[in-house]
Structure 1
Amino acid sequence: MSFDLECRNLTKRFGGTTAVDDVSFDVPSGSFFSILGPSGCGKTTIMRMIAGFLEPSSGDILIRGKSVLDVSPNKRPVNMVFQHLALFPMMNIAENIGYGLRRQGMAKAQIAVKVDEALDRIGLPGIGTRKIDELSGGQKQRVAIARCMVLEPDVLLLDEPLGALDLKLRERMKVELKALQAAFDTTFVYITHDQSEALVMSDTIAVMNEGRFEQMGSGRDLYYRPASAFVAGFVGDSNRWAGRVERAEGNVMQVRTESGLSMRASAHDRAMGVGDAAQIFVRPEAIRISTAADDLAHFDNHLSGRVTNLLFNGAASRIVVAADAEEIEVNLPQSGEFAALSEGDAVHIGWAGDQGNCFAAGSAP
Structure 2
Amino acid sequence: MQPDLECVNLTRRFGDTVAVDNVSFEVPRGSFFSILGPSGCGKTTIMRMIAGFLEPSAGDILIRGGSVIDTPPNKRPVNMVFQHLALFPMMNIADNIGYGLRRAGMPRAEIATKVEQALERIGLPGIGERKINELSGGQKQRVAIARCMVLEPDVLLLDEPLGALDLKLRERMKVELKALQAAFDTTFVYITHDQSEALVMSDDIAVMNEGRFEQVGSGQDLYYRPDTAFVAGFVGDTNRWAGRIERTEGDGIELRTDSGMLMRGAAHGRVLSAGDRAEIFVRPEAIRIAHSAEELSHFDNQMTGRVGSILFNGAASRIIVQDSSGNGEIEVNLPQSGEFSTLTRGSEVQIGWSGAQGNCFAAAVS
Same fold (TM over 0.5): yes
* Residue of structure 1 equivalent to 2:326: 325
Instruction: For residue 363 of structure 1, report the CA deviation from its aligned partner.
Output: 7.8
Q: Number of aligned pairs? A: 364
Alpha carbons 1:269, 1:359 under 8 Å: kept = no
* Residue of structure 2 equivalent to 1:358: 360
1:151 is paired with a residue whose SS is: coil
**Which range moves more in the overlay, 110-119 or 338-347?**
338-347
User: Which whole-Å CA distance do the structure 2 matches of 1:300 and 1:224 have between them?
Assistant: 20
- The aligned runs of 1:45-84 (5 Å cut-off) are 45-84=45-84
Instruction: For residue 312 of structure 1, report the CA deviation from its aligned partner.
Output: 1.3
Instruction: For residue 251 of structure 1, report the CA deviation from its aligned partner.
Output: 1.6
Alpha carbons 1:229, 1:363 under 8 Å: kept = no
Instruction: For residue 117 of structure 1, report the CA deviation from its aligned partner.
Output: 0.1
Alpha carbons 1:250, 1:270 under 8 Å: kept = no
User: Which whole-Å CA distance do the structure 2 matches of 1:361 and 1:159 have between them?
Assistant: 33
Structure 2 residue ranges without an equivalent (≥5):
none
- Cα deviations by residue, 1:45-92 (Å, 9 ceiling, x for unpaired): 000000000000000000000000000000000000000000000000
* Residue of structure 1 equivalent to 2:287: 287
Could you say if the C-alpha distance between residues 269 and 277 of structure 1 is closer, same or farther in structure 2, counting changes exceeding 3 Å? farther
Q: Which amino acid aligns with 1:95?
A: D
* Residue of structure 2 equivalent to 1:155: 155
- Cα deviations by residue, 1:144-192 (Å, 9 ceiling, x for unpaired): 0000000000000000000000000000000000000000000000000
- Cα deviations by residue, 1:222-263 (Å, 9 ceiling, x for unpaired): 000000000000000000000000011122111000111111
Alpha carbons 2:42, 2:208 under 8 Å: kept = yes
Instruction: For residue 270 of structure 1, report the CA deviation from its aligned partner.
Output: 3.5
User: Which whole-Å CA distance do the structure 1 matches of 2:210 and 2:331 have between them?
Assistant: 29
Alpha carbons 1:269, 1:360 under 8 Å: kept = no
- The aligned runs of 1:1-365 (5 Å cut-off) are 1-268=1-268, 270-323=270-323, 324-326=325-327, 327-362=329-364
Could you say if the C-alpha distance between residues 127 and 363 of structure 1 is closer, same or farther in structure 2, counting changes exceeding 3 Å? farther
User: Which whole-Å CA distance do the structure 2 matches of 1:78 and 1:264 have between them?
Assistant: 49
Alpha carbons 1:192, 1:198 under 8 Å: kept = yes
User: Which whole-Å CA distance do the structure 1 matches of 2:5 and 2:178 have between them?
Assistant: 19
Instruction: For residue 320 of structure 1, report the CA deviation from its aligned partner.
Output: 1.0
**Which range moves more in the overlay, 337-346 or 204-213?**
337-346
- Cα deviations by residue, 1:288-341 (Å, 9 ceiling, x for unpaired): 000111000110111111111111122111101112212111011122320111
Q: Alignment RMSD, CA only?
A: 1.1
Q: Which amino acid aligns with 1:286?
A: A
2:169 is paired with a residue whose SS is: helix
User: Which whole-Å CA distance do the structure 2 matches of 1:166 and 1:119 have between them?
Assistant: 24
**Which range moves more in the overlay, 339-348 or 136-145?**
339-348
Instruction: For residue 264 of structure 1, report the CA deviation from its aligned partner.
Output: 1.0
User: Which whole-Å CA distance do the structure 2 matches of 1:62 and 1:320 have between them?
Assistant: 48
2:339 is paired with a residue whose SS is: helix
Alpha carbons 1:8, 1:59 under 8 Å: kept = yes
User: Which whole-Å CA distance do the structure 1 matches of 2:66 and 2:270 have between them?
Assistant: 41
Q: Which amino acid aligns with 1:44?
A: T
Alpha carbons 1:227, 1:268 under 8 Å: kept = no
Alpha carbons 1:230, 1:363 under 8 Å: kept = no
Instruction: For residue 271 of structure 1, report the CA deviation from its aligned partner.
Output: 2.7
**Which range moves more in the overlay, 194-203 or 348-357?**
348-357
User: Which whole-Å CA distance do the structure 2 matches of 1:63 and 1:251 have between them?
Assistant: 42
Structure 1 residue ranges without an equivalent (≥5):
none
Alpha carbons 1:35, 1:208 under 8 Å: kept = yes
Matched residues, percent identical?
A: 78
Instruction: For residue 362 of structure 1, report the CA deviation from its aligned partner.
Output: 1.5
TM-score between both structures, scaled by the size of structure 2: 0.98
TM-score between both structures, scaled by the size of structure 1: 0.98
User: Which whole-Å CA distance do the structure 1 matches of 2:250 and 2:30 have between them?
Assistant: 41
Alpha carbons 2:270, 2:361 under 8 Å: kept = no
User: Which whole-Å CA distance do the structure 2 matches of 1:229 and 1:337 have between them?
Assistant: 34
Q: Which amino acid aligns with 1:226?
A: P
Instruction: For residue 30 of structure 1, report the CA deviation from its aligned partner.
Output: 0.1
1:337 is paired with a residue whose SS is: coil
User: Which whole-Å CA distance do the structure 2 matches of 1:293 and 1:253 have between them?
Assistant: 23
- Cα deviations by residue, 1:105-157 (Å, 9 ceiling, x for unpaired): 00000000000000000000000000000000000000000000000000000
Instruction: For residue 269 of structure 1, report the CA deviation from its aligned partner.
Output: 5.9
User: Which whole-Å CA distance do the structure 1 matches of 2:97 and 2:71 have between them?
Assistant: 25
Q: Which amino acid aligns with 1:153?
A: P
